[in-house]
């Protein structure tokens, strides 16, 4: 017997169904009158998971375990590859691991029921042998080497390592060569049994579907069951600022830079935490967007030639922003950002700009409701945090200039900025234009 709960949002002409049945993850069905289907199975295990509870014991995970499992679960006991089987069904499949989750996904135009059953079946049937694990190590070690040679990847990881001293965000998602080599079938089975069960999964589906059609597709699927609450999430760590500038050398044509700043962990319920995050995004858009005054100033002074890239991270134990780009004079960019924040703390963001940015981001959010993949990805991010993506859009209407500027003055400080620079390995340290 399945429980089907309708979540209706007439203000957006949108609805979705929450489907619960023993033996399958909670399903979130977003009906769309489209000719294609999209499905994502989210499992709550990522590179931030260093420990888990097993009864009264705390067990540890090797760095890279979540990513290794993502790779190996595509191997079927009969020797076939689940990725190839999904392709044979006409489905374009993929998988990825983040700090907080592992996601398995596909999109297709027909044979959806078969593809969905294949997805949940291969994730439910781990098959690890000494031989296939050793073969996979070679592939993942090559992947680790590729990331080690990527200047943009090194820039990000070195920037967060400068900001955080203990949090597992410092770890490479793929693991280290040492941890990869220590992974065994036994270790993989232990981690699989701990994390891969219906209490730690959600399935997100979009397409021209009914709850009955989804349940029929999964009628003979039975997955391991379990309860949430066994994960040991990392404790919160506020970013460090004892060495505000760090320089590395790599093979790049022009210096790359990342300016980072850590925030305090948001208080309040899930809705208030998300509201606070939206306010930070408004501040970031005002400061760093290519339509903002700072970018125009940097461009006029020939300090940057391409728009700044800004990202915000709000995950267990870490909250920070990162602004990155290319510049021949990254320290001058760093000081310009500091000066801009100093001025903004005095003047605040004008109400007209707050309202304009809120309208723009609200319109962007609502427009994403028509894109199945963007919408499902938004559900993947929001539902595990206890947020309805449609209700999140309404939060923009609660963001006043007073609230946004309060968040600005609470969280942003020119003295809480770090700069990480990757310079060409043949360049001298001093910037010629300083």
Q: Please check whether residues 385 and 295 belong to one and the same domain.
A: yes
Q: Is pLDDT of 188 > 90?
A: yes
Least confident of 2-6, 152-156, 201-205, 289-293: 289-293
Q: Count CB-CB contacts under 10 A for residue 117.
A: 16
Is residue 432 a part of any domain in this protein? no
Residue 257: CA atoms inside 13 Å, Cβ hemisphere, count? 26
Q: Please check whether residues 227 and 171 belong to one and the same domain.
A: yes
Q: How far apart are CA 184 and CA 30, in angstroms?
A: 39
DSSP string, 342-374: HHHHHH---HHHHHHHHHHHHHHHHHHTT-HHH
Structural domain including 400 reads 245-424
201-207 vs 37-43, strand pairing mode: antiparallel
Does the pTM surpass 0.85? The reply is: yes
Q: Please check whether residues 24 and 107 belong to one and the same domain.
A: yes
Q: What is the pLDDT of residue 160?
A: 93
318-326 vs 256-262, strand pairing mode: antiparallel
Q: How far apart are CA 134 and CA 20, in angstroms?
A: 38
Mean pLDDT of 75-97: 93
Is residue 346 a part of any domain in this protein? yes
Q: Please, which pLDDT band fits residue 434 given cuts at 50, 70 and 90?
A: very low
Is residue 19 a part of any domain in this protein? yes
Q: Please check whether residues 274 and 129 belong to one and the same domain.
A: no
Q: Is pLDDT of 268 > 90?
A: no
Angle at which helices 372-382 and 351-368 pack, to 10 degrees?
Answer: 110
Least confident of 72-81, 184-193, 341-350: 72-81
Q: Please, which pLDDT band fits residue 23 given cuts at 50, 70 and 90?
A: very high
Name which of 411, 401, 233 is nearest 320 in CA terms. 411
Q: 6 has which bridge partners?
A: 17
- Pair 227, 402: CB distance under 8 Å: no
Q: How far apart are CA 104 and CA 381, in angstroms?
A: 14
Is residue 240 a part of any domain in this protein? no
CATH number for the domain including 103?
Answer: 3.30.830.10
Residues in the chain: 434
Q: Please check whether residues 217 and 257 belong to one and the same domain.
A: no
Mean pLDDT of 191-202: 96
Q: What is the pLDDT of residue 174?
A: 95
DSSP string, 13-64: TEEEEEEE-TTS-EEEEEE---S-EEEEEEES--TT--EEEETTEEEE--TT
């Amino acid at each position: 017997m399945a429980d089907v709960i309708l979540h209706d949002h007439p203000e957006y002409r949108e609805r979705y169904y929450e489907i619960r049945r023993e033996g399958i993850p909670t399903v979130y069905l977003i009906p769309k009158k489209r000719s294609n289907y999209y499905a994502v199975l989210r499992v709550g295990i990522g590179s931030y998971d260093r420990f888990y509870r097993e009864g009264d014991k705390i067990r540890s995970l090797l760095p890279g375990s979540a990513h290794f499992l993502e790779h190996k679960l595509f191997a079927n006991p009969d020797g076939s590859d689940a990725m190839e089987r999904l392709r044979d069904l006409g489905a374009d499949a993929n998988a990825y691991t983040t700090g907080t989750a592992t996601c398995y996904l596909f999109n297709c135009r027909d044979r959806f029921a078969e593809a969905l059953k294949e997805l949940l079946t291969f994730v439910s049937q781990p098959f690890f042998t000494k031989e296939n694990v050793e073969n996979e190590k070679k592939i993942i070690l090559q992947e680790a080497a590729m990331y080690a040679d990527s200047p943009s990847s090194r820039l990000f990881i070195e920037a967060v390592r400068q900001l955080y001293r203990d949090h597992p965000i410092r770890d490479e998602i793929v693991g280290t060569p040492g941890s990869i080599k220590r992974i065994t079938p036994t270790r993989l089975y232990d981690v699989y049994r701990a994390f891969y069960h219906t209490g730690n999964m959600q399935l997100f589906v979009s397409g021209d579907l009914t709850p009955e059609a989804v349940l029929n597709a999964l009628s003979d699927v039975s997955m391991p069951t379990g309860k949430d609450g066994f994960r040991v999430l990392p404790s919160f760590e506020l970013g460090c600022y004892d060495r505000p500038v760090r320089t590395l050398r790599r093979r790049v044509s022009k210096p790359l830079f990342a300016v980072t700043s850590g925030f305090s962990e948001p208080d309040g319920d899930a809705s208030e935490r998300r509201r606070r995050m939206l306010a930070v995004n408004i501040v970031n858009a005002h400061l760093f967007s290519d339509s903002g005054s700072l970018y125009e100033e940097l461009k006029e002074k020939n300090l940057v030639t391409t728009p700044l890239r800004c990202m915000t991270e709000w995950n267990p134990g870490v909250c920070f922003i990162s602004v990155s780009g290319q510049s021949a004079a990254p320290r001058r960019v760093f000081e310009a950002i500091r000066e801009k924040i100093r001025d903004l703390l005095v003047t605040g963001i004008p109400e007209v700009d707050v309202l304009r940015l809120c309208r723009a981001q609200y319109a962007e959010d609502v427009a994403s409701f028509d894109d199945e993949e963007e919408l499902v990805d938004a559900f993947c991010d929001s539902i595990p945090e206890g947020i309805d993506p449609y209700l999140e859009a309404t939060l923009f209407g609660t963001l006043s200039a007073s609230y946004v500027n309060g968040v600005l003055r609470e969280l942003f400080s020119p003295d809480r900025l770090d700069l990480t620079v990757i310079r060409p390995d043949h360049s001298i340290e001093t910037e010629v234009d300083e």
